[in-house]
A and B are shown apart, each in its own frame.
Chain A
Amino acid sequence: MGAGNSPCASCKLLRRRCAKDCVFSPYFPSDNPHKFAIVHKVFGASNISKMLQELPVHQRGDAVSSLVYEANARMKDPVYGCVGAISYLQNQVSQLQMQLALAQAEILCIQMQSQDQPTALTSPLHELVADDKSFFFSDNLNYF
């Protein structure tokens, strides 16, 4: 049962009695009907109930929050939902990795330009630089 004797938002929307042990009531209070309406529209009350019942009680709050997030994303973008955000963020990560690689290359160039003596080529620094150039071909840099 929701706060006091009023049914939770789920039972209000579903027009049914809100039991004392209603699985929805801790997470869908009656003062926020929109929250349940959104997840119900995307996932369906029955599926939400199954998902919550499969989880320990202490994890259900986080599960509801993530379901609400996904439902909101799907309402805003009916074609891609959350996947649109993931794609955008993955691109951002790729771009930042590329910028880091370029910045690293710039540091190496500055270092090489500042070396005056040809013997520097046989120095430990040269070996370190030669090894680190492999980063250009690393699998981590997926912009190739």
Chain B
Amino acid sequence: MTNSTRCAACKQLRRRCPSDCIFLPYFPPYNPQRFSYVHRIYGASNVGKMLQQVEEHERGNVADSLYYEAYCRIEDPIYGCVGIITVLHEEIYHLQYQLAKIQAQIDLLKAHPPLQGLEYSANLLADQNGVYASSPSSFGPSIHCLY
């Protein structure tokens, strides 16, 4: 028995879409880009194997993560989503450094409360203006927006 509307995978592979097609639940016909991207990077056969090797309740997550990685790889053919991981590591290092700096300033303030509070704190606040990094979602596409 076949589906009246083929899934995106079977449409692109130009084949019949059986009722138990493994791609059907995760690559619906109204989103052809989703399968197109994973097919381009992994190949239909590999995607099918990766879906089959996990429990059914996990297959949606597999399809989503494969699409995310394929999307990143097409956007950045050299580094793919590894580029995002690198940037996140750098951001974490930067934030940890800033946090350590501020903690040291807090300890100093507690040990030696400022005598001329206005001037000293204005300098401190000016120093803190560069603290706030952009949100994590600015490093590559947010995981949630692609699903």
Please indicate which of the listed interface residues A62, A129, A140 has the most CB atoms of chain B within 10 Å of its own CB.
A140
Task: Report how many residues on chain A are interfacial, defined by Cβ distance under 8 Å.
Answer: 60
**Contact assessment for B106 and A103 in the assembled complex, using a CB-CB cutoff below 8 Å:** yes
A138-B143 contact given A96-B92, A103-B103, A120-B118, CB 8 Å threshold: no
Chain B residues with Cβ below 8 Å from A139 are: 135
Measured CA separation A132–B85 after assembly (Å): 31
Q: Is the interface of A mostly helix, strand, loop or mixed?
A: helix
**Contact assessment for A107 and B106 in the assembled complex, using a CB-CB cutoff below 8 Å:** yes
**Contact assessment for A43 and B106 in the assembled complex, using a CB-CB cutoff below 8 Å:** no
Q: How many contacts between A and B, using CB within 8 angstroms? A: 174
Which residue of chain A has its CB nearest to the CB of B55? Answer: A79
A93-B132 contact given A70-B69, A82-B69, CB 8 Å threshold: no
Q: Give B contacts to A, CB under 8 Å.
A: 40-43, 45-46, 50, 53-54, 58, 61-62, 64-66, 68-69, 73, 77-85, 88-89, 91-92, 95-96, 98-99, 102-103, 105-106, 109-110, 113-114, 117-118, 121-122, 124-125, 128-129, 131-137, 139-140, 143
Which residue of chain A has its CB nearest to the CB of B46? Answer: A44
Measured CA separation A97–B139 after assembly (Å): 15
Which residue of chain B has its CB nearest to the CB of A126? Answer: B118
Chain A residues with Cβ below 8 Å from B65 are: 79-84
Chain A residues with Cβ below 8 Å from B81 are: 70, 82-83, 86
**Contact assessment for A66 and B82 in the assembled complex, using a CB-CB cutoff below 8 Å:** yes
A97-B95 contact given A51-B77, A110-B106, CB 8 Å threshold: yes
